[in-house]
Amino acid sequence: MKALLKFKSMKECTVTGKRVLVRVDINSPLDPVTKHITSDNRIVKTAPTVRWLAEQGAKVALIAHQGDTDDYQNLITLEEHATLLAKELDRPVRYIDDVCGPAAVQAIEALNEGDIVLLGNLRYLAEEISVFEKVVPLKPSEMTGCWLIRTLAPLFDLYVNDAFSAAHRSSPSMVAFQEVLPSAAGPLLFDEVEALTTILTASEHPSVFVLGGARIGDAFGMMQSVLENGTADRILTLGVTGQVFLLASGIELGEKTHAFLQGKSLLGFVDEARAFLKSYPNRILMPTDLAYADVHGTRVEIAVQTSMPNESYGDIGSKTIELYSREIAKAKTVFVNGPAGIYEKELFEKATREIWRAIAASDGYTVVGGGDSVSAASKYTNLDDWSYVCTAGGAMVRFMSGKTLPLIKAMEQASK
Ligand code: 3PG
C-alpha cells in the first residue's frame, strides 16, 4: 500500500538525535459539561507513532488541535491529552500551554533524546482555525509566513504528519511545514488510507455500505461516488438518512419528522434521495419499520406504511434489523458510518447495537469510521472484531467521496 501513497514514511528517516515535529490528531470527544475527554481512541491510536520516535532517540514535539462541542470555541487546553498519552506510552509527556510563543520555543530547545513535549492547542491560533481557507484563502506556499511556521520550522530537522483525520483541513499545521522542512508520513496515515482504499476498491463483493446518522451531507456525499463506480453493491439506509429516503419514496412521516428535518435544513436532501432511488432502484434499501416512544415512554415499533403516525422516530424496528443483518451476513465488504438511531438513549439503542454486532461478526472486510459510529462500536462490540476502526470522520467521508484531500496533496508535493 505504501507504494500507492507517493510519500515517504517516517520509518525511512534517520530520527535519532533529531528534533522531530509531529502533527497528530488527538481531537477527542468531550463531555459537554465537564469538558473532559470521553473517548481516548485517537490518543491510543497515535501512541505507537510517538513511542517509535521516542524509542529511536528523537526529540519529539507534538502539535495538535482540540475543538469544542460548540463550533470552534477554542478554549480547551491539551493538558488532559498529554496525561492520557503519557499513561498510554508509560513515559512522560510534558505539556506546554503555548503553541509557538517563547515558552514553546524554550521547551523545544530543551528537548533531549527520547523526550516528548505536547504544545498548546493549535486552535489558540487564529491562523489555524479550520475556516481559515475560506476567510483567507492562502496556498500552502503562502502559509509559510504564518507565525506557527515561521517560529517552529527553524527549530526542527523533520516534520511528520500522522493526522489523517484532519486531512481535509487546509491549515498551516497540516499543509505548510511540508514547504520548508523535510517531511514524512506517520504509520497511522498509511493505515487509514490503506483501509479506506481497500473499501473503495472493494475487491471483495458483495459490498455493503451502511449509512445512517444525522449528518445527511456525509452520507449523500459518499453515496454518489460509491454507487456510480460500483464500490457499493447495496446501501442500507438508517438513522435520519433512512427517514429522508422514506420521504423521498412517498412515505408520510408526519409533522414532527418534517419539523425536525426542516429545523436542521435537511429537507433539501429529499429531492436528492428521490434522484438516487430513480437512478439506482434496487441498490438502496430503506427501513421497513420504525420505532418511537409512546406516552408512557415505552418503545413501539410500527411497520412502514404510506401515512405514518405523527411521532418522533428515534430508531429503526426489528424487521429492518433482521433484513439488514441478512444483507450484512452475505457481504464480503462492509463499511459503516452513522448510527441507526438515537443510540445514546436506551430506548433507541437496539438497532445500532444489533446491526453493529452483525457487522463485527461478519467474516468479510469491515470498516467503521466517524466519531459516533466508533463510540457505538466500542460500546456494543469488541473493536478487535473489526478489520479496521478508522479514526477519521470528515476526512474519511471526503476521501470516500473521491475528493482530493489537502494533506495528501501537500505530502505528495513535498515528496517531489
Ligand atoms: C475531526 O474530528 O474531524 C478532525 O479532528 C478535524 O476537526 P475539526 O472538524 O474541528 O476541524
What letter would DSSP give residue 312?
A: -
Q: Check pocket membership of 393 for ligand 1, CB cut-off 6 A.
A: yes
- 300 CA distance to ligand 1 middle (Å): 36
Q: Check pocket membership of 61 for ligand 1, CB cut-off 6 A.
A: no
Strand partners, 184: 160
> Is residue 381 a part of any domain in this protein?
no
pTM as predicted: 0.87
Q: Are 82 and 122 members of one domain?
A: yes
> Is residue 116 a part of any domain in this protein?
yes
Q: Are 174 and 221 members of one domain?
A: no
Ligand 1 atom, smallest distance to 165 CA: 4
- All cell numbers assigned to 251: 412515505
- Beta strand 116-118 with 94-95: parallel, antiparallel or unpaired? parallel
Through-space distance between the first and last CA atoms of the chain, rounded to whole angstroms: 19
- Beta strand 289-293 with 158-162: parallel, antiparallel or unpaired? unpaired
In the block, cell 483525520 appears at 165
| CATH code: domain of residue 230 | 3.40.50.1260
Question: Three-state SS for 311?
Answer: coil
> Is residue 75 a part of any domain in this protein?
yes
Q: Check pocket membership of 165 for ligand 1, CB cut-off 6 A.
A: yes
In the block, cell 475528493 appears at 403
Give the amino acid at 223.
Answer: M
As a whole number of angstroms, the distance between CA 398 and CA 161 comes to: 18
Q: Are 104 and 220 members of one domain?
A: no
In the block, cell 480547551 appears at 76
The domain of 151 spans 2-188+404-415
- 20 CA distance to ligand 1 middle (Å): 23
Q: Are 265 and 298 members of one domain?
A: yes
List the chain pLDDT tens, one digit each, 416 residues.
444 677 899 999 999 999 999 999 999 988 878 889 988 989 999 999 999 999 999 999 999 999 886 656 667 999 999 999 999 999 999 999 999 999 999 999 999 999 999 999 999 998 998 666 677 788 999 999 999 999 999 999 999 999 999 999 999 999 999 999 999 999 999 999 999 988 888 678 999 999 999 888 888 989 999 999 899 999 999 999 999 999 999 999 999 999 999 999 999 999 999 999 999 999 999 999 999 999 999 999 999 999 999 999 999 999 999 999 999 999 999 999 999 999 999 999 999 999 999 999 999 999 999 888 998 999 999 999 999 999 898 899 999 888 899 999 999 999 88
Residue-wise DSSP of 259-278: HHHHHTT-TTHHHHHHHHHH
Report the domain count for the chain: 2
- All cell numbers assigned to 44: 491510543
Estimate to the nearest angstrom the gap between the alpha carbon of 17 and the chain centroid: 33
Q: Are 224 and 272 members of one domain?
A: yes
